[in-house]
Structure 1
Amino acid sequence: MRTAHARGLLPVRGAHPPDRRKKIQPRQTAVSGQDYTPTLDTVPCEPAGTFLGYFLPAALTIVFLLDLIGNGFVLTILISRRTTWHLADHYLFQLALSDLLLGLTLPFWAVQYGYGWSFGQVSCKVVGALFTINMYSSILLLVCISLSRYISIVHAVKFNKKQRPIHAVMICVFVWGLSCFLSWHELYFREVGSPLSDKTICFYKFDPENSNSLRIALQLTEFTIAFIVPLIFMLFFYSRIFCTLQGSRSNHSRRSQLVIVALLLVFFFCWAPYKSLQLIDTLQRMGYIARNCRFEEMLDIGLAVTETLGLFHVCINPIIYALVGVKFRKEIFRLFKRLSGQVVNSSVVSSKEGTIFTDSNCSYSKIM
């Protein structure tokens, strides 16, 4: 029996053709996303699930709690805001909602890894689809936020006044629609059963003849749309913003530059390790890397650990995209004042740098 990463939420191991030189069982996942096609010409590799059985439930629970607190707080601040939302606020709300919904699926996968799936067939498909939809939408919304900032700062004179809330709504609808389309396989292929042991799991049940090619296609699609393309766009947008802000000597400009560097580094270091191992797994499925039990065991553990690291990004998002901003800190100040029964009549709040920021209906929200 082979084990693999976490929940198998993304394309996972399927049946490989047996190696003629060394008999190795087709790679599987222990929890989900697996299809099992035994072959007479294979013998099993040793399982790698002992460490993951302890690590994943604990790690996913931590991610869930931090995600619930952080993104729940961001949504509360935005919903309670008395002033008109700016364009960036629409994207921030959608991002926090997407990250929160993604986090709500994690307890299901934590329970499955520890005890098996006991939530039924419909829940299996729905939870799998919710995870993938919100994984895609969360990353794509980061690109939307970088685009909004790019237009507002680099092309402030030419395009900024032409931006309208309806434009943000249309872009968000497109992002959610594309994310749903990219998650079709979750509803079509997910099943509940016991393909490898007595434990019932929620897994991908592919046709054995097409299993490997389907997994390769899904993994390459995710690698491209959920990592390479967003990284390229974010590098372009934020590099242009960084260069534009270089001409300013204000403290706010320098702080914004530091935030830009943080945004890129956090996104890259959270997702790059997992995507790199996922690419290695894809190359092995395609036959470019020879199969080996010890290598596959380490790859499975690496995928589980690095995927969990990537999921921590949904906890960091509310910090780097909202809580570090002057405007958002002002809203937090107002919320606590209202909760404590104090009425704030002034519409201006002084920042630590001594700059006065007033509420306005301009299309650019200074989140940074």
Structure 2
Amino acid sequence: METPNATEEYEEYSYNLGKNYNGQAYMCNPIDINNFSKKFLPSFYYIIFIISIIGNGVVLLVVYKFEKLTTVTNLFLLNLVASNIIFTLTLPFQAVYHSNQWIFGEALCKLVNSACYFGFYSSVLFLTLMTFDRYLAVVHCVVANKKRRSCYALTLSSAVWSISLLASLDSFIHFTVEEDPMYGLMCEDLSDLKWKVFGLYKQFVLFFIFPLAVFVYCYFRITLTVMATRMVGKHRTVRLIFVIVLMFFAFWSPYNIILMINENRDSQQCDERLSYAEYVTSNIARLYFCINPVFYTFLGRKFQNHVRGVLMNQGSCLTSHLTISGSSRTLA
């Protein structure tokens, strides 16, 4: 009896990979898709990592220098930045993985992927929480002034972290390292059908439909309230609200829609366009959840003034430093 070679083993692996949730086989060769990810994803992840660290760092700097850290809005913003940094720190591991194979071992396979989902989920929930808090502050300002205290923010933040941790535990349990004859060591989710379906609908309902409903309702009520007042610059406020909702929908919706299309389609043939679309939309979502504090704060006039102040201060220090250095060189 002949021992199967690597090619035959890979063909068997490709066949098993190309099965839908009903166990029906379809031809879906993953080679092109893997080559696509190997070519584009590592550099993309490194770029997102750099942008995220800089953007979130600027937000932290401005909040620290110009804002009170104990206000409800800033406590939520700091937690949002923390969730994005947790997610961002997983990107270099993913970049190395997509450029070659998983070289970091079983423990980091579980930790990196669970941290990725943990950052994802907490970021979505903190954006939702900040939206609801803004709704209370504008639409129910009398009640909000009595209830919006530091303990309120800390309690809700703790609830968000706890929910996100529970939601990401299945990733820690089910991700593991296995050796593939073609691609080497792979860090993959090896959960069964029921867990995959449960995870898909959990993400779709709790971290897409629910936040989107909160966004639309809260910002609709905020817009009506702002337009009914004589607030100076109210059109700018409404425009800012529209941009925030649009950003969330534009970056996060396509990935969730593609996932649901893949789950519910009846065709037994692999649609490579959907596979490529899933890769692209998932990374658009990654980009958003790395830099959403920048969108959330840079669009505000007060934050823009703070950033301008930081840049002017840095420019003044740099000019003084160059003048002193130049004078020293002249005297020497």
Q: Does the TM-score normalized on the shorter chain lie above 0.5?
A: yes
Following superposition, the deviation at residue 59 of structure 1 comes to 2.0
In the other structure, the counterpart of 2:276 is: 301
In the other structure, the counterpart of 1:52 is: 37
Tell which deviates more after alignment, 265-274 or 211-220: 211-220
Q: % of aligned pairs identical?
A: 27
Secondary structure of residue in 1 paired with 2:188: strand
Contact map agreement 2:68 2:74 (CA 8 A) in 1 = no
Q: 1:196 to 1:218 in 2, by over 3 A?
A: farther
Secondary structure of residue in 2 paired with 1:48: helix
In the other structure, the counterpart of 1:276 is: 257
State whether structure 2 residue 208 is matched by structure 1 residue 227: yes
> In structure 1, which of residues 174, 192, 207 is the aligned counterpart of residue 177 of structure 2?
192
Following superposition, the deviation at residue 24 of structure 1 comes to 2.4
Contact map agreement 2:19 2:26 (CA 8 A) in 1 = no
Amino acid paired to 1:80: K
Q: 1:95 to 1:13 in 2, by over 3 A?
A: farther
In the other structure, the counterpart of 2:237 is: 256
Contact map agreement 1:245 1:253 (CA 8 A) in 2 = yes
How far apart are the structure 2 equivalents of 1:304 and 1:194? 22
Following superposition, the deviation at residue 250 of structure 1 comes to 4.0
How many residue pairs were aligned? 303
How far apart are the structure 1 equivalents of 2:167 and 2:31? 34
Specify the structure having the higher radius of gyration (Cα).
2
Contact map agreement 2:131 2:215 (CA 8 A) in 1 = yes
Contact map agreement 1:220 1:282 (CA 8 A) in 2 = no
Amino acid paired to 2:287: F
State whether structure 2 residue 278 is matched by structure 1 residue 292: no
Contact map agreement 2:80 2:123 (CA 8 A) in 1 = yes
Question: What is the TM-score with the length of structure 2 in the denominator?
Answer: 0.84
In the alignment, structure 2 segments of 5+ residues that lack a partner are: 1-9, 12-16, 318-332
Following superposition, the deviation at residue 314 of structure 1 comes to 2.5
In the other structure, the counterpart of 2:304 is: 329
In the alignment, structure 1 segments of 5+ residues that lack a partner are: 3-11, 28-43, 343-368
Amino acid paired to 2:249: F
In the other structure, the counterpart of 1:319 is: 294
- Counterparts of 1:73-222 in structure 2, within 5 Å, are 73-81=58-66, 83=68, 85-195=70-180, 197-206=182-191, 211-222=192-203
Following superposition, the deviation at residue 168 of structure 1 comes to 0.5
Secondary structure of residue in 1 paired with 2:267: coil
Question: What is the TM-score with the length of structure 1 in the denominator?
Answer: 0.76
In the other structure, the counterpart of 2:222 is: 241
> What is the Cα-based RMSD across aligned positions, in Å?
2.4
